[in-house]
Amino acid sequence: MTSATAAKGLPGELMMWVLIFSELAVFGAGLAIFLALRIFDPDGFAHAQTALLPALAGVNTIVLITSGYMAALAMKFPDRARRLLIGAAMLGVVFLILKGMEFQHKVDLKITFETHDFFMFYYLLTGFHAAHVLAGIGILLLVAKTRVAAHIQTGAAFWHMVDLVWILLFPVIYLL
Amino acid sequence: MTALDRAWLGLALLSSVTTIVALSPLSAPWSGALILIFAWAKAWLIFLWYLELADVPVWRGGILFGLGLFSLLLFGLYVIGTLV
């Protein structure tokens, strides 16, 4: 019995789905705690949020969903998979460059973990997510090299998980 | 145009509309409700078409339900934060 049939039709590796749900649970709990803390200091959180760069983060959303699109296309077109996966990884690099600019902006404003609870969660959640982007870039480049369909599917699934986390993280931290 | 192409277009459109709502004078909690609904829709598109759950009804339904509950939790916490 393959892992796919064991999970009643879930596409790809069962363990990757376990990872996807685990990561979503961890980030989801972080976001829920962030919003719960906001209840006790709405003005402080609102003021802290003005130091963020939502336009830059918005651009990063487009970068990441386009990168995810390329990773998904790589599963559909094996003959072009290598180029598509490298393209997806390069967009991941663009995401990290923009994220680095965003962190530099905070450093310039002398904003640290200890400035406010808002920034503690901002650095923790977006930093942890950026670490996943970095890992995802490595995985995409690795599966681009092997060109094995099952590996490409697993690598792309990890990348979509990174995409999903950002889709939930962006509105809660930058926009609400 | 394939379903995957449409999913990417949908994600780009929802992301743009989210930014417009965030910049609009629409007040809380309505702006927050719309932003969270759009986030839920984007996550749903990724599950369906990027992660290929469109043809797996049992998991599709379960994830739709779980994602909906989580979005409601976030919305509830957000609304309480706007009321205090």
Give the gap in angstroms from C-alpha A111 to the nearest C-alpha of chain B: 24
Instruction: Report the greatest alpha carbon distance in chain A.
Output: 56
Nearest to A156 by CA among A45, A57, A81: A81
pLDDT digits (tens, 9 = 90+) for B47-73: 999 998 888 888 888 888 898 999 999
Residue A61 has pLDDT above 80, yes or no: yes
Contact A65 B22 (CB under 8 A): no
Taking the CA atoms of chain A, what radius of gyration do you get in angstroms?
Answer: 18
Contact A35 B78 (CB under 8 A): yes
Confidence (pLDDT) at A65: 95
pTM of the model: 0.90
Give the gap in angstroms from C-alpha B5 to the nearest C-alpha of chain A: 8
Which carries the bigger pLDDT value, residue A95 or residue B62? A95
Taking the CB of residue A102, how many other CB atoms lie within 10 A of it?
18
DSSP state letter for B27: P
Confidence (pLDDT) at A146: 86
Average pLDDT on A73-99 reads: 94
Average pLDDT, chain A: 91
Looking at beta carbons, which residues of chain A come within 8 Å of B18?
Answer: 58, 171, 175
Q: How many contacts does A have with B, using Cβ atoms within 8 A? A: 102
Lowest mean pLDDT among A5-9, A59-63, A103-107, A171-175: A5-9
Give the gap in angstroms from C-alpha A33 to the nearest C-alpha of chain B: 9
Average pLDDT on A103-121 reads: 92
Confidence of residue A7 (pLDDT cuts 50, 70, 90): low
Which carries the bigger pLDDT value, residue A127 or residue A9? A127
* B22, B36, B46 member nearest A68 (Cβ): B46
> Which DSSP helix (H) or strand (E) runs through A77?
none
Residue whose token pair is 């609304």: B79
SS3 labels along chain A: CCHHHHCCCCCCCHHHHHHHHHHHHHHHHHHHHHHHHHHHCHHHHHHHHCCCCHHHHHHHHHHHHHHHHHHHHHHHCHHHHHHHHHHHHHHHHHHHHHHHHHHHHHHHCCCCCCCCHHHHHHHHHHHHHHHHHHHHHHHHHHHHHHCCHHHHHHHHHHHHHHHHHHHHHHHHHHHC
Rounded CA separation A5/A60 (Å): 36
Report whether B77 contacts A26 (CB < 8 A).
no
* B19, B74, B84 member nearest A35 (Cβ): B74
Three-class SS state of A81: helix
Confidence (pLDDT) at A32: 95
Contact A31 B74 (CB under 8 A): yes
